[in-house]
Structures are given as C-alpha cells and as structure tokens.
Amino acid sequence: MDDLSRFCCLNSRCPDFGLRGAGNLTVTGRLGKSRQYRLLYCRTCRDRFSERKGTPLYRAHLPEDKLTSILEHVTEGCGVLKTARLVKVHPDTVSRYSRAAGEHARAAHDELVAHSPETREIQIDEAWSFVAKKEKNCDEGEPEDRFRGDCWDHVAFDPEHRLVVSVVPGERTAESVQELVGDVKERLGGRIPGLITTDEYSASEGAILEAFGTEVVPPRTGKPGRPRSPYKVAPEGLNYATVHKTRTKGRVVDVATRVIFGTAATVQAALADSVASRTVNTAFVERHNGTDPQPERAEGAEDVLLLEGLVDSSGGNLLQQVQLQLLLAGEDPEGEGRRGSNTGHDGEVDRSCVDASGVDQATSYPTCVGHDL
C-alpha cells in the first residue's frame, strides 16, 4: 500500500485542494524512463498529476542525486560557477534549479510560518552581503550594475523558539525595515510581541511605531489654519529597546541599552518572562546571521541572474532559511529538537511554535506549495 499522506491535490478548483492526508488520492500509473515516479489520481476532481508536481524536482531531467547536489552546494554558499564546476553541469542549469528551489522555499516558509502564535520576543538585525561586486565599485551608468552592489538581509528572529519569522532582502532603507516589521505583524496576527530589540538603526523606531502604533486623531480646535494631521503613539504593552555597542579596533568594549517604547520596569518584566533573554540583546539574531552560510563573491552575470530570481543577497540564503524552518530552527541543527518541545542546554524546555504535524495553528487556506519536501 502506497503511503500518500504527505501528498495533496494541486487542482485549485478541487474541494480538497491543498489538503494532505484527505484520503482522496490513489496511484493510477507510473512515469519516467524507469517508471520510478507515481502518477496520482484525485477521486474528488478526477485530476491526474505526477507526485513531483509542486516541488522543485518537477519536470527535472537531471538525476535526482545530481540535482540534490546542486541545491546542497548553493545552500552552503557556493557561487553559480563554482557549483557548476563541482557538479559538472552548465551554469544556467544551476541558476534555473536554484530559482525554482528558491521560489518553493519562499512558499514553504509562508505556509509553515503563516502564523506564529507563541512568538513573544522578536530580535531584528541586518546582515550585509553584496551581489557581484561591492557598492563602491558599481557604476551608475552601467545597466548591468543595476542589480549589483551592497545588499542586506533584514531578519526578524524569535529567540525563544530559534525561529526565523521573516526575511526581507534588499537595500538598507527605511522601506525595507517597514516591510519586515509589517510582515512580522501579519504573521503574529496583529498581536504585539512582549519585547522587540534591535540595534540603533534609526529606521527601526519609525517602522515599529508605524506597524504597532495606535493612531490618534487630534480634535478640531475651531481656530483658523490647517488642522493637525493624525499621528501614532506607542500603545500600552509595546516594549522596544535598542542595543548600542562601542568598538575599539574592531572589538566590542562596551554595550549600552536604551528603552524606546515602554518603561524600564515593563522591559524587565518582559525579560523575566522570557526563556531566552536575561538582558536586552540582539545576540540570538546576530548569531543566526553569523552562522548563515555566505557565498564567496559572485563570479559573473550568471550569479546576478540567480540573485534576480531568488531576490536575495546570497545565492543560497533563501534555501538555508527555509531549511531552518523545516528543521524548526533548533538550537542544535543536528540534535533531536527539530520538532515539538526541545530541551535546551540549561535544562529548560523550548516551547516550539511547530509541532510534529507542522505549524501549531496552520494556515486556514490551501497553499500552492505542493507536497511536503
């Protein structure tokens, strides 16, 4: 008996679209030169499709081990040309499959972390990288340099569950930070986390106030002149603090914290309730960014095309991010704490946002991710 519990119907018009383990699928044939792939049949809508449909492997002509090797090299930070040489394929092949896997990774992240109901603490930081060459070496008059230069991964990280909540790659601008914080708010269902910490990047304060602030409409005074425009204030329960590091010869010699929204007492109360942080810090997101595999410098036009497809600052970063989600972003990626509860090094139990069947409160609508990876 074939186990089809991990598969779902991919016909968007089917009533069972996106429902895994619904019992509506059967195996009706075999595909491939060696008849190695199953042809699935949906009893509900009578649609037929390959078991690989909805995955990066769909319609792939390469052997599965070679395709897996390509994605593993990209995930570990190898550039397009280097991966092509090591796996012995054309650079365009690396770019094509990396784009497909990157799009699938983004969709899988949006499904698995569509809602994070237990996230109470958020740390935000930016990781620097560059596409093809550094910003100082780019020429504004060169059309090819449009997608080259400095690029930043804006990361929102849940330190209690070691969960990457959101990633926004792009230029280090206020718009990118606003997009990141807005996406975090959506994934939290509009709920205000107990504590938000960042570095002293000036754009963070405005983005947090814009996303979580309460709008105040000033009353009309009856006096001549234009009335005062509505503005936002920090609501009760919004605790936001920043970390300032003083460096001497590249070494951190002093760390100072500052409470932006909330009070010192409410921030300390949030820290006392946290299972990860004891002081205001950004150590967890910085550790995540520091251990994220980064590629050596991009090697040519093929790398730029790959980055345009992944919309990311490093060829494999998006793949690495979704691997983190699929493994639950456990503190020890090789340990057993990848799903459900995880006992940390200090003996405390990490409350996981994801249980053995996926997200604690999975998205209520079907997605186009396809079958489980």
Model pLDDT, residue 319: 52
Q: What is the DSSP string of 18-68?
A: T-TT-S-EEEEEEESTTS-EEEEEETTT--EEETTTTSTTTT--S-HHHHH
Model pLDDT, residue 263: 95
Distance CA 264, CA 292 (A): 33
Pairing outcome for strands 195-199 and 163-170: unpaired
Distance CA 249, CA 258 (A): 24
pLDDT digits (tens, 9 = 90+) for 154-188: 999 999 999 999 999 888 999 999 999 999 999 99
Low-confidence ranges of the chain (pLDDT < 70): 1, 293-373
Structure tokens at 25: 């699928």
- In the chain, what are the domain boundaries? 1-54, 118-220+228-291
Model pLDDT, residue 294: 60
Amino acid letter for position 303: D
3-state SS, residue 144:
helix
Closest CA to 180 of 146, 203, 199, 160: 203
Q: What is the DSSP string of 155-180?
A: EEEETTTTEEEEEEEE-SSHHHHHHH
Model confidence pTM above 0.85:
no
Q: 118-220+228-291 in CATH: which number? A: 3.30.2170
Upper half-sphere CA count for residue 288 (Cβ side, 13 Å): 30
Strand partners, 126: 154
Q: What is the DSSP string of 173-223?
A: SHHHHHHHHHHHHHHTTTPPPSEEEEES-HHHHHHHHHHHPEEE-PPP---
3-state SS, residue 76:
coil
3-state SS, residue 100:
helix
Distance CA 169, CA 321 (A): 12
Distance CA 371, CA 40 (A): 12
**Residues 101/319, Cβ–Cβ less than 8 Å:** yes
Structure tokens at 210: 């814009």
Amino acid letter for position 96: R
Only one residue has tokens 């005062």, namely 228
